[in-house]
Amino acid sequence: MSNIQHPEAMECNMASDILSRAEVESLLSAVDGRDPDAASEATISRLRHRDKISPYDFKRPERVGKEQMRSMQTMHEGFGRNFGASLSALLRTIVELKLTSVDQLTYSEFVFSLENPTCFNLINAPPLEGQLILDINLSLLFPIIDRLLGGGSDSTPPNRRPLTDIELRLVSRITDLFCKELKHAWENVIELDLSIDRVESNPQLVQIVPPNEVVVLSSFEITLGDARGMMNLCIPFNAIERISTRLLSNSWVSYGKRSATPESIDRIGRRLTKSMVEVVVDLAETSISTSDLIGLRVGDIIATEKDVGRSLVVSVEGRPKFHAQPGAFKGHKAIQVVGQIPGP
């Protein structure tokens, strides 16, 4: 057999294998992505694929949902306002306290971000599992201690040393106030029994959870005169994992707006039963000139337009509540309630 082809047949085959100019440009456009239709379809495909993918950092896993983080931020903002007001009353000076951030990170990142020495308080919070951490910068605590001991407003550079036993006793007034206000902030979610377990100066020597365990860190900035420092509340995730569903914002709002029950009314009533209130009885009212007031002497009589037969008004905490008649009881001046004043 002969494999020799005719020259005219070879020319025809070569001509059929050569691409035209339009076909070459079409192929190059498809390869380079310059085809508008192909490019748009590829872009849409990439965007759809990207929407289904979310980045995940194994070093900082986010185990707390966004709704729960927003709920904790709302609670701790209210806590910051109340604690700042209570701290101002305790120190008898203006204290500015604001929540700067609520983040989730690993326990090791939190510990290595703190100063050494510091005031590292371990808090028991039953029925939550484990412990919470309250860290207060010494740059803030030394001016507070100076204020508690009667010092002035002049701030001195803080010493980089651990707190003494006497200073720890003074700081306990601050931490006890912190626990009281934090318990009040969380009462709509869960009733906490907060107490300080112990205080450490080196945070790296304390490990309440594994280094890679996720914690929720609420940071507060406190300003006292010229002194400024940070206060950090660290809540491990395993402590709130069991009640995480209660931290959803909708659930938390429902806790705050729940309707009164007979049990809650009875509980509040028992607490108010022993409350002290101010009771004032208005005998009469009149107006006199300043010269007559200056000229008053013992035995002078001030005339009023009030009829002796009209009932007196009894006010409770500044609000008129009852009508009464004057009299005496066992040798003491007294009033007899004869009616109630309608109103709220």
- pLDDT tens, residue by residue, 136-163: 998 888 888 888 888 765 556 566 788 8
Tell me how far the alpha carbon of residue 88 is from its chain's centroid: 18
CATH at 321: 2.30.330.10
CATH at 129: 3.40.1550.10
**Residue 34: inside a domain:** no
Q: Are residues 73 and 194 in the same domain?
A: yes
Alpha-carbon distance of 259 to 272, in angstroms, equals 19
Q: Are residues 146 and 254 in the same domain?
A: yes
pTM over 0.75: no
Would you call 121 exposed, middle or buried from its count of C-beta atoms within 10 A (0-12, 13-18, 19+)? buried
Residues 6+ apart with CB under 8 A from 129: 238, 239, 242
Q: Are 168 and 130 in contact (CB under 8 A)?
A: no
**Residue 12: inside a domain:** no
Tens of pLDDT along 209-225?
888 889 999 999 999 88
Q: Are residues 249 and 290 in the same domain?
A: no
Cis preceding-peptide flag for 162 (omega within 30 of 0):
no
Number of domains the chain contains: 2
**Residue 311: inside a domain:** yes
Q: Are residues 259 and 289 in the same domain?
A: no
Q: Are residues 289 and 252 in the same domain?
A: no
Q: Are residues 120 and 168 in the same domain?
A: yes
Q: Which domain holds residue 329?
A: 277-295+307-340
Alpha-carbon distance of 302 to 287, in angstroms, equals 10
**Residue 99: per-residue pLDDT:** 92
**Residue 213: inside a domain:** yes
**Residue 44: inside a domain:** no
Q: Which is nearest to 286 in space by CA: 301, 272, 274?
A: 301
**Residue 300: inside a domain:** no
Q: Are residues 110 and 142 in the same domain?
A: yes
CB count within 10 Å of CB 235 equals: 23
Alpha-carbon distance of 246 to 254, in angstroms, equals 10
Q: Are residues 243 and 326 in the same domain?
A: no
Cis preceding-peptide flag for 127 (omega within 30 of 0):
yes
Judged by DSSP in three states, 66 sits in helix
pLDDT band at 134 (very low <50, low <70, confident <90, very high): very high
Alpha-carbon distance of 127 to 194, in angstroms, equals 10
**Residue 122: inside a domain:** yes
Tell me how far the alpha carbon of residue 139 is from its chain's centroid: 23
Q: Are residues 200 and 260 in the same domain?
A: yes
Percent of the residues in the chain that have a pLDDT greater than 70, as a whole number: 76
CB count within 10 Å of CB 4 equals: 6
Q: Are residues 176 and 324 in the same domain?
A: no
Q: Are residues 148 and 290 in the same domain?
A: no
Q: Which residues pair with 285 in a beta bridge?
A: none
User: Where is pLDDT greater, at 333 or 308?
Assistant: 333
**Residue 222: per-residue pLDDT:** 92
Q: DSSP per residue over 169-201, as a string? A: HHHHHHHHHHHHHHHHHHTTT-----EEEEEES
Would you call 64 exposed, middle or buried from its count of C-beta atoms within 10 A (0-12, 13-18, 19+)? buried
Average pLDDT over residues 225-246: 87
**Residue 35: inside a domain:** no
pLDDT band at 7 (very low <50, low <70, confident <90, very high): very low
The residue assigned the tokens 């980045």 is: 55
pLDDT band at 293 (very low <50, low <70, confident <90, very high): confident
Q: Are residues 282 and 157 in the same domain?
A: no
